[in-house]
Amino acid sequence: MYNPYAELSPADIEQRLAAAEACMNDWQKQGLNLDLTRGKPSTEQLDMVSGLGFDQLLSSTDHYAADGTDCRNYGALAGLAEMRALFGGLLEVPAAQVIVHNNSSLKLMYDLVVQCLLTGPPGGSGPWSRLDRVAALCPAPGYDRHFALAASLGLELLPVRMREDGPDMDQVEELVRDPAVKLMFAVPQYSNPDGVVYSGTVCRRLAEMEASPGFCVIWDNAYRFHHLVDEPELCPAILPLAAEAGNPDRFFEFISTSKISYAGSGIAAVAASPRNVEWLLGSLFYQTIGPDKMNQLRHLRLLEAAGGLEALMERHAELLRPKFRLASDMLSARHGNGAVVSWLEPRGGYFIGLHLARGLARAVVAECARCGVKLTAAGAAWPYGHDPEDSCLRLAPTCPTLTELETAMKVLCDAIEVCALRQAAGVLS
């Protein structure tokens, strides 16, 4: 993207830069300490869940699943039957295709890649660890923890351009011809950070394309139910689509309640083809006797108490909408969407992805940090932390209060201006 401040006259630039520098020095003197780095729910959201009695919903005799399982004792490796059915219904697959586990979907993803390394997925050609090279397609900007996970396990990260309807499928179809490409990451509903919803066409092409045997996609549906708008565009259910396309084993779909109940104490699940579920359970059997079923039961009771998942998510949305509105409106009012910075209007999820004029991202993060406003590190949304244009910023407006967010956004808007002016003046360090 182009820096519009470069069109100003040198005198204008000099004058406006002096004012902007003074403004930033004022911010610095205020000793702010604000944090927009991570996509965490706010205390208000957590209090809303606590207010539904989440931690007291299980009475001293309420320990039994529908089939009589005593949730306090060992067992139920794949999770409670009714929880599997509930998630299955939401993801449009039979309960038998869902494994409900503990509090972290990231952990389930890590364990999936570990099993791929040690034994290889069904239909593949054995353990990935025996191959000289294993690569993962990483739509970017994307989720930093996905990329870090794969890199920590020795996978090579290949960036793929994101478009407004999902990853660039021409590029994906080209890259996937490389037999070393065994994995792809995807956040199909409200991608992290841009909030992109993968279109039906993108999903179909992903399901139908040729790929090496055992190629699989980590379909991280973290924000499947996390809408901010009333009539959300929905990414299609991928597992039925993949089965229809003749590639039933391609997708491992992950969801969690981390941003539905409590971020630290939710439950996570993976849904996959019957063959993949059998494979996952086959190794899970050696790892644990079963998940925390009491927490699963507690979640079932929470959804009842809240009047269902949609009603609960609407309560979250009520708390989140003003924050996304404020952030987007302040950026629009100050800079306009599409000039020095552009972004997709927030429709759901936990982030706003800012695309700045080339070469500004690191400088803006540093300038904000100098003034006590922490942003996610520039480049974090790219494989190996390398943003080729140094232009992407991830904004996480959910956790701070509205007042804190307003201050942080003022600092950010000012920081964008000062950095763009410095760049126009040729003094951006």
> Which residues make up the interface to its own copies (CB under 8 A)?
38, 40-41, 43, 46, 49-51, 53, 55-56, 58-63, 70-76, 102-104, 106-107, 110-111, 114, 117-118, 129, 145, 148-149, 152-154, 258, 262-265, 283, 286-295
Tokens 């593949």 belong to which residue? 124
Report which secondary-structure segment, H or E, holds 195: none
Cβ distance to its own copies smaller for residue 10 or 75: 75
Rounded to 10 degrees, the C-alpha dihedral 103/109/113/114 comes to: 0
Cβ distance to its own copies smaller for residue 2 or 64: 64
CA distance 310 to 322: 19
Tokens 């070393």 belong to which residue? 180
Alpha-helical segments (H) within 209-273: 238-244
Cβ distance to its own copies smaller for residue 41 or 214: 41
Residue 192 and residue 350 in contact, taking contact as beta carbons nearer than 8 Å: yes
- Own/partner long-range contacts of 45-51 (Cβ < 8 Å, ≥24 apart): 45/316, 45/319, 45/320, 45/398, 46/262, 46/263, 48/315, 48/316, 48/319, 49/261, 49/262, 49/302
Cβ distance to its own copies smaller for residue 104 or 332: 104
Cβ distance to its own copies smaller for residue 122 or 200: 122
What are the strands of the beta sheet with 216-220, ordered from one edge? 98-100, 268-271, 251-256, 216-220, 181-186, 135-140, 156-163, 166-167
Least distance (Å) from its own copies to the CB of residue 286?
4
Least distance (Å) from its own copies to the CB of residue 298?
8
CA distance 268 to 291: 10
Least distance (Å) from its own copies to the CB of residue 266?
8
Least distance (Å) from its own copies to the CB of residue 224?
19
Cβ distance to its own copies smaller for residue 30 or 73: 73
**What does 342-402 look like in DSSP terms, one character per residue?**
E-PPP-BSS-EEEEESTT-HHHHHHHHHHTTEEEPPTTTTSGGG--TTS-EEEE--SSS-H
Least distance (Å) from its own copies to the CB of residue 14?
45
Cβ distance to its own copies smaller for residue 169 or 268: 268
Least distance (Å) from its own copies to the CB of residue 203?
28
Least distance (Å) from its own copies to the CB of residue 68?
12
How many C-alpha atoms does 384 have within 13 Å on its Cβ side? 10
Strands 268-271 and 98-100: antiparallel
Tell me if residue 429 falls in helix, strand or coil: coil
The sign of the CA dihedral 296, 302, 304, 310 is: negative
Cα distances from 5 to residues 14, 15, 334, 415, in angstroms, run: 11, 12, 13, 14
Residue 180 and residue 131 in contact, taking contact as beta carbons nearer than 8 Å: yes
Identify residue 172 by its one-letter amino acid code.
V
Cβ distance to its own copies smaller for residue 69 or 199: 69
Cβ distance to its own copies smaller for residue 149 or 361: 149
Least distance (Å) from its own copies to the CB of residue 118?
7
Least distance (Å) from its own copies to the CB of residue 151?
8
Least distance (Å) from its own copies to the CB of residue 321?
20
Cβ distance to its own copies smaller for residue 293 or 355: 293
